[in-house]
Structure 1
Amino acid sequence: MMKAFPTGVIFSLFLLMVVPGAGMADEPLDTGQSIIKQQIAAFLSDDAAAAYSFASPAIQGKFVNQDVFFDMVKRAYQPVYRPGNFAFGRSKVSDGEIMQEVVIRGPDGKDWTALYQLTKQPDGSWKINAVRMMQAAPGPEI
């Protein structure tokens, strides 16, 4: 006996087979989030070389070497350097750019929003080109 598939499942399978790129819309976003996770893991393990490798050439060009970059992150981006925990928020993918919100609990227990900008490189890879930190507004008292 043949099992019937819901119409939505059949339509989704049809789109994946017929529409070029269908099902791949989240690929840059998934890649961007993976890069952010890997860079945070590098910060947590004090791996300056790995953390620096995720920075765009424009960012790398602003620092003499990976150690100077790493020291800057330690001083200016404590919530990214030593997050208590983090979660991905809103995101936007446009031609050659990913904007990704990351909600981070800093080592001091305060909540922050880090807005990451990743840019697509000529070789097709994605690199972190900027991070803007904003302290989250305090929530209501419970």
Structure 2
Amino acid sequence: MAAFDPIHSTDLIQSVIQQQMAAFNKEDYPTAYTLASKSIRQRLSKERFETMVRSGYPQIANSHLVSFGETLFSDDTQAAVATVHVTGKDHVTVIARYLMVLEGEGWKINGVTIVEEFQPIRSGPAGRRSARSRESERLCHL
């Protein structure tokens, strides 16, 4: 058995996430569904999966820009959490944590949690610019 290679595994995980986002952007939900874990596919039909993504994850369903942060692996290297920054076509940016599991055929997406949302910067009164996000509100209270 080959030794665990976190860099190679991170690349594979990012590839799966990118493939799913590309499928969403092409409205190819059947392909996106195949990248979900067996657990997700057992709980959700293809139709419910599509409805869940469209209604609960609009930036992921219609992504414009994607960048990857840290990927952390479980001690047994059979699961991982990948941090992904996604800007939707609505210009809202979210930080998502992708829960990944290693299944026989490779890495699969076992869930997504949105941990932060940033609204686009808009011009305020008198040309002032203001950012609307939970993060900026929290920073203002420090």
Fold conserved (TM > 0.5)?
A: yes
Taking structure 1 as the reference length, the TM-score comes to 0.75
Q: Which residue of structure 1 aligns with residue 27 of structure 2? A: 46
Q: Deviations over 1:59-104 (max 9, x none)?
A: 11111x2122112100000011001211001111232012111001
Q: Which residue of structure 1 aligns with residue 60 of structure 2? A: 80
Q: 1:93 aligns with which of 51, 54, 73?
A: 73
Unaligned runs of 5+ in 2: 119-134
Number of corresponding residues: 118
- Deviating above 4 A after TM superposition, structure 1's stretches of 4 or more consecutive aligned residues are none
Instruction: Please say if residues 29 and 93 of structure 1, whose CA atoms lie closer than 8 Å, have aligned partners that are also in contact.
Output: no
Matches within 5 A, 1:21-40: 21=3, 24-40=5-21
Structure whose CA Rg is larger = 1
Matches within 5 A, 1:51-62: 51-62=32-43
Q: Which residue of structure 1 aligns with residue 100 of structure 2? A: 118
Residue 108 in structure 1 maps to residue 90 in structure 2: yes
Question: Which residue identity is paired with 2:48?
Answer: V
Q: What's the RMSD between the two structures over aligned residues?
A: 2.0
Taking structure 2 as the reference length, the TM-score comes to 0.75
What SS class does the counterpart of residue 43 from structure 2 fall into? coil
State the identity %. Answer: 27
Instruction: Please say if residues 116 and 128 of structure 1, whose CA atoms lie closer than 8 Å, have aligned partners that are also in contact.
Output: yes
Distance of 1:138 and 1:62 partners within structure 2: 36
